[in-house]
């Protein structure tokens, strides 16, 4: 497995800034309550693992077996920690 255990905390960033091709784990949702609930129900809940497939204005993500397209305005409220790939 590529996920080596790091001693230092993993870098955190909004999903919009996760590099394309990298995988991150959701740490927190920081938007309005209604948006957060909607994101959670679509599967973007805390500790979900997301792979960013492509990302411009509209992001394409792989989330436990499904492809989900979401606007950057929604993605910026998803805080992820980088766990694999990128950089």
Partner 1 sequence: MPADTAKPAAPSRTPVYALVGNPNCGKSTLFNALTGLKQKIGNYPGVTVEKKIGTAYSQHGHPLTIIDLPGAYSLAARSPDEAVLRDVLLGRRADTPIPDRIVCIADATNLERNLYLVHQILDLGRPVILVLNMMDVAERAGLVVRAARMEKELGIPVIACEAINGKGLVELKLAMSRHDLPLSRHSWAIPAPIAPAVSEIAASLSENDRRPPLIARAEALLLLTDQDSVRVAGSRPLSERTVEILRSWEKRWAAQGTDWAGALVNSRYDAITELCTHVIERGGMKTGASVSDRIDAVVTHPVWGWVVLGAIMSALFLSIFTLAQFPMDWISEHMASLADAVKHAMPAGDLRDLITDGAIGGVGGVVIFLPQILILFFFIGLLESTGYMARAAFIMDRLMSRVGLNGKSFIPMLSSYACAIPGIMATRTIEDTKDRLVTILVAPLMSCSARLPVYLLMIAALFPVATVPVAAKVGIMISMYALGTLGAFGFAWLFKRTLLKGEPPLMIMELPPYRLPKIRDVALHMVERAWLFLKRAGTIILGISILLWALTAYPKAPVGATDAQQIAQSYAGMAGHALEPVIKPLGFDWQIGIGLITSFAAREVFVSSMGVIFNAQSGEGNTAPLRDALLAAKWPDGRLLFTPLVCITLMVFYVFAMQCMSTIAVVRRETNSWRWPLFQIAYMTGTAWFVCLLIHQIGRALGY
**Residues within the interface to partner 1 (CB under 8 A):** 29, 33-43, 45-46, 53-54, 56-58, 60, 64-71, 73-74
DSSP at 48? -
Compare residues 7 and 41 and give the one whose CB is closer to partner 1.
41
Which class for 10: exposed (0-12), middle (13-18), buried (19 or more C-beta within 10 A)?
middle
Residues 37, 42: Cα–Cα separation, whole Å? 9
Smallest gap from Cβ 8 to partner 1, in A, equals 27
Smallest distance from partner 1 to CB 29, Å: 8
């Amino acid at each position: 497995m590529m996920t080596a255990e790091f001693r230092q905390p993993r870098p955190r960033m909004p999903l919009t800034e996760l590099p394309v091709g990298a995988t991150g784990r959701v740490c927190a949702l920081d938007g309005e309550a209604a948006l957060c609930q909607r994101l959670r129900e679509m599967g973007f809940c805390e500790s979900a693992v997301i792979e960013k497939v492509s990302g411009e204005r509209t992001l394409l993500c792989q989330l436990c077996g499904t492809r989900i397209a979401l606007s950057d305005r929604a993605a910026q409220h998803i805080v992820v920690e980088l766990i694999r790939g990128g950089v």
